[in-house]
Amino acid sequence: MQTYRNFIAGEWVESTSGKTAENVNPADTSDVLGVVRLSTRGEARRAVEAASDAFRAWRATPAPTRGRIVARAARLMEDDRENLARLLTREEGKTVAESRGELQRAINVAEFCAGESRRMNGETIQSELPANFAYTLRQPHGVVACVTPWNFPVAIPVWKIAPALVAGNTVVFKPATVTPATAVRICEIFAEAGLPAGVLNLVLGSGSEAGDEIVNHAAVRAISFTGSNGVGLKLYEQAARRGAKVQCEMGGKNPVVVLEDADLALAVESTAQGAFGSTGQRCTATSRAVVVDEIADAFVERIVARAESLRVGDGAAEGTDVGPIVDEGQFKSVLQYIDIGREDGAELLCGGTVPDGDSQAKGYFVRPAVFDRVTPDMRIAREEIFGPVLSVLRVRDFEEALRVANDSEYGLSSSVFTHDAARIFRFVDEIETGMTHVNSPTTGGEAHVPFGGSKATGIGEREQGSTALDFYTELKVVYVDYTGRKREGNLY
Ligand code: NDP
């Protein structure tokens, strides 16, 4: 069986650690893809040192040359898209169609970042003084750590690694332990695209050891993290003590608001897509539907019918709509939230059960669940479940809908369904989320558009789009005086 290796200083090296974890197909737990050795702290340190050693030469490489390598990586991903999509499905569980979509996102981001390498521009600034001016430069930090979750194991690493490299940083990449195979493949592709040794390093290992060692290493000047709030906030606190820069994208509890004049069929279909697509394991997944009383019965009847129509099964099989939950821990956690919802008094209208078909016997499957009559104080309305579970909260009117939608510690994504322009713009203005959608699902985003959340969801600059390079560069300000004379006046 394959043992995944670390990629350090341009070499594929097997960890010496005796601690291991199996990489298991969540649709069929008898299908073991490989074994991860959980790297030691020393191996993690070695990766940071390799990235440090490679920094000066990479920093001196012109940005368009760096961008060309990232563009080549995009082409290689495109050439290998089908294999990569199938590997992603086997490792993480999402349907092959969803995996292809994720691959396309990764390719788009890499292409976008490659283009950005040709305009890492600063600005020139007029001076108050004659024969003086100022300008700004964007410069890399040095070694950056990219720490990623399992739910988008190709797209998220690429949307961190590509801008980090284009900006001239060297990278230590620590992927989620449950998705090592795709992480290895991404690094193989970047290496094949022509990255010099040490510029990108991969460390497979547990967050609490290898991850902890990397993010707390003095040479790591910036950390880009996507994952849970518990881990992200701890990491933010630790990094703050040594003044390292941090960007965290964390949990969500994303609401869709459905008003009485909404196109009901569209609202239902979009809510189903948002809630059950990728098995609800998206940070932008719809987990709350805030629906005005007038149409709530009709909405609930249709969303239940839609949830029940979805075919749950192996993401690799033709016709599957909803794949498995990623692993046993998440599987148990989702089922526990179903119990919590019931105990708190919500009405479970469908799903939340484990299918009993032969083809599902060996996987972590849960039928899409819809809870009705959820109130804002219930745990299923407040906590991130990260599974195919939708809570319907009934409200009197638009004002209450806004209040309920904003009654969350999280602030990642949201959407509103109405044709009333005035209420659309009030919603856009007052909803407390980093991204919002009008008459479309809470999920989905484009490579050239900034991505990220507010409130407890996000810390630091937005990823992707026009802001992608902001996190990965330092702004240097340069004052130029070409008078050749001692400055008179204006000495502040
Ligand atoms: P975790 O926070 O458990 O893990 C994320 C990454 O951090 C993993 O690589 C993990 O390693 C690592 N890690 C864990 N502990 C430490 C530590 N002490 N120091 C350094 N690294 C550490 O998240 P999940 O992988 O479970 O992902 C699910 C979460 O991600 C959800 O909350 C979801 O909302 C969020 N997410 C947010 C997105 C956004 O853009 N807002 C997008 C996608 C997901 P290991 O795997 O070994 O534990």
Which pLDDT belongs to residue 490? 63
Question: Which of 39, 161, 228 to mutate to test ligand 1, by most ligand atoms within 8 A of the CB atom?
Answer: 228
Three-state DSSP state, 202: strand
Rounded to the nearest angstrom, the distance between the alpha carbon of 150 and the centre of ligand 1 is: 7
Question: What is the maximum span of the chain, computed from C-alpha positions, in angstroms?
Answer: 86
Three-state DSSP state, 216: coil
Show Cβ contacts of residue 332 under 8 Å, excluding neighbours closer than 6 positions: none
Among the listed residues 246, 75, 92, 282, the one whose alpha carbon sits nearest the alpha carbon of residue 160? 246
Q: How many CB atoms lie within 10 A of CB 395?
A: 21
Which pLDDT belongs to residue 391? 98
Rounded to the nearest angstrom, the distance between the alpha carbon of 225 and the centre of ligand 1 is: 7
Pick out the chain residues at pLDDT < 50: none
List 283, 350, 384, 463, catalytic entry: 283
In b/e form, how buried is each residue of 254-272, taking b as 16+ CB within 10 angstroms? Answer: bbbbbbeebebeebbebbb
| Residue 150 alpha carbon, nearest atom of ligand 1 | 25
Q: How many CB atoms lie within 10 A of CB 14?
A: 12
The phi and psi torsions of 275 (rounded to 5 degrees) equal: -85, -35
Between CA 378 and CA 348 the distance in angstroms is: 13
What is the rounded end-to-end Cα distance, in angstroms, of the chain?
68
Between CA 416 and CA 266 the distance in angstroms is: 11
Rounded to the nearest angstrom, the distance between the alpha carbon of 149 and the centre of ligand 1 is: 4
In the structure, which protein residues have their CB atom closer than 6 angstroms to any atom of ligand 1?
A: 147-152, 174-177, 206-208, 211-212, 215, 226-228, 231, 235, 249-252, 283, 384, 386, 412, 453, 457
Output the average pLDDT for the chain. Answer: 97
Chain position carrying tokens 């518990």: 230
Rounded to the nearest angstrom, the distance between the alpha carbon of 148 and the centre of ligand 1 is: 6
Between CA 173 and CA 164 the distance in angstroms is: 11
Among the listed residues 76, 151, 110, the one whose alpha carbon sits nearest the alpha carbon of residue 324? 151
Between CA 144 and CA 172 the distance in angstroms is: 6
Task: Name the packing angle between helices 155-166 and 180-192 (round to 10°).
Answer: 30
Q: Is the pTM of this model over 0.85?
A: yes
Rounded to the nearest angstrom, the distance between the alpha carbon of 228 and the centre of ligand 1 is: 5
12 forms bridges with which residues in the sheet?
Answer: 7
Are the C-beta atoms of residues 227 and 160 closer than 8 Å to each other?
no
Q: How many CB atoms lie within 10 A of CB 3?
A: 13
Between CA 98 and CA 147 the distance in angstroms is: 22
| Sign of the torsion angle spanned by Cα atoms 64, 70, 76, 81 | negative
If you write DSSP's letter for every residue of 70-88 in order, what string do you get? Answer: HHHHHHHHHHTHHHHHHHH
Nearest CA to ligand 1 atom 40: 249
Between CA 36 and CA 183 the distance in angstroms is: 12
Between CA 187 and CA 240 the distance in angstroms is: 29
Query: Residue 49 catalytic?
Result: no
Are the C-beta atoms of residues 50 and 200 closer than 8 Å to each other?
no
Chain position carrying tokens 């290998």: 80
Query: Residue 188 catalytic?
Result: no
Between CA 209 and CA 200 the distance in angstroms is: 20
